[in-house]
Chain A
């Protein structure tokens, strides 16, 4: 199958070339679908893991042990900036996906580099936020609430760090090997990973920061 004049690896060429009956051909999904679906199932299990951290946080949110509550330590303007970075990076990641699809270097590299810069900006803001809190005596050892907070938000931060490394690897692989079908599958997996992290961040800024300040 050809889309916009390019073979995206939607069909495995070995399968497509074989003289098989129509229903047999239908029963074999392309490698692109199998790979992306497997990665999608992995991401959903990752989301289930995050939900356990969310549940822990929500259960522990009032256990401040006489220490600061969310209202005392959260800085909403920094959180708004972090949110802007991740949201825009999701958009630029989409531009990079379109670029990879069309094998357009400007859109692919431009989108990926913009995504990397925005992801790094997010991580720097979050790191600064964490160090400020720890310097104020609101580190993860202060109370059960803060342990739950650092576990949840820190776990998301670690995922973003892994995502940036994944992203840089994909830039290097396209640079070294070109838009091969296997590389395009990895780019699709990266895009799924990055968009899913943004969805988890929507949960974090709502449940942790906005509800924490509103209550």
Chain B
């Protein structure tokens, strides 16, 4: 469908979060997307659960690797299960998601930063009790 005056294609409507454009598709074709998502998630989960107990990798790298795997898996879930994609018809859903991710980032990183700074600057507990005696 195109705009009569300009010939620019119109996105007739946006897509609801969770929906997939599926004109004329059968169930079996929808299943494939979920199977890809399940496969990737199982892979990421298996690697993540394997990491803490192994001595095969450099130990200090494990926390960073676990966090990267978790973010990857969240991305897989968002694309293959929630169907939030970068297509133009999904832009409102992505904007809401980006705002949510921003708030989550500020909240977690800000809390950890401020609290570790406070812990660092706090008088050791023994000396604090001594001064108040």
Query: What are the residues of chain A within 8 A of B19 when measuring CB–CB?
Result: 32, 36, 188
Cross-chain contact B49 with A44 (CB below 8 angstroms): no
A-B contacts besides A36-B16, A95-B34, 5 pairs, CB < 8 Å: A10-B13, A29-B13, A37-B17, A48-B103, A76-B52
Q: Is A131 an interface residue (CB 8 A)?
A: no
* Contact of B122 with A by CB under 8 A: no
Shortest beta-carbon distance, A213 to chain B, in Å?
5
Chain B neighbourhood of A33, CB < 8 A: 13-16
- Once the chains bind, are B45 and A87 in contact (CB under 8 Å)? yes
Q: How far is the CB of A91 from chain B (nearest CB, A)?
A: 5
Q: Which residue of A lies closest to B22 (CB)?
A: A3
A-side interface mostly: helix
For window 36-59 of chain B, which residues contact chain A by CB distance below 8 Å?
A: 37-38, 41-42, 45, 48-49, 51-53
B96 touches A37 (CB 8 A): yes
- A65 within 8 Å of B (CB atoms): no
* Chain A-chain B contacts (Cβ-Cβ < 8 Å), number: 161
Within 8 A of B (CB), among A53-82: 54-56, 58-59, 76, 80
Q: Is the C-beta of A169 less than 8 angstroms from some C-beta in chain B?
A: no
Report if A48-B100 is in contact (Cβ < 8 Å); known contacts: A22-B10, A54-B108.
yes
Residues of B within 8 A of A210 (CB): 48-49, 51-52, 66
Q: Which residues of B contact A101 (CB under 8 A)?
A: 22, 27, 30
Q: Does A159 lie at the interface of the complex (its beta carbon under 8 Å from any beta carbon of B)?
A: no
Contact of A58 among B13, B30, B112 (CB under 8 A): B112
0 or 1 for each of A110-125: is its CB under 8 Å from B? (1 = yes): 0000000000000000
Q: What are the 4 tightest A-B residue pairs by CB atom distance, in nearest-first order?
A: A44-B100, A36-B16, A55-B111, A206-B70
Q: How far is the CB of B121 from chain A (nearest CB, A)?
A: 15
- Residues in chain B near residue A191, CB distance under 8 A: 18
- In the complex, A95→B32 CA distance in Å? 10
Interface string of A202-215 (1 = CB under 8 A from B): 11011100110111
A36-B18, A37-B96 known; A51 vs B107 contact (CB < 8 Å): yes
Task: Choose from B4, B26, B37 the contact partner of A4 (Cβ within 8 Å).
Answer: B26
Q: With contacts A90-B77, A191-B18 known, is A52 near B107, CB below 8 A?
A: yes
The residue of chain A having its C-beta at the shortest distance from the C-beta of B104 within the complex is A51
Q: A26-B12, A214-B62 are in contact. Are A36 and B112 (CB under 8 A)?
A: no
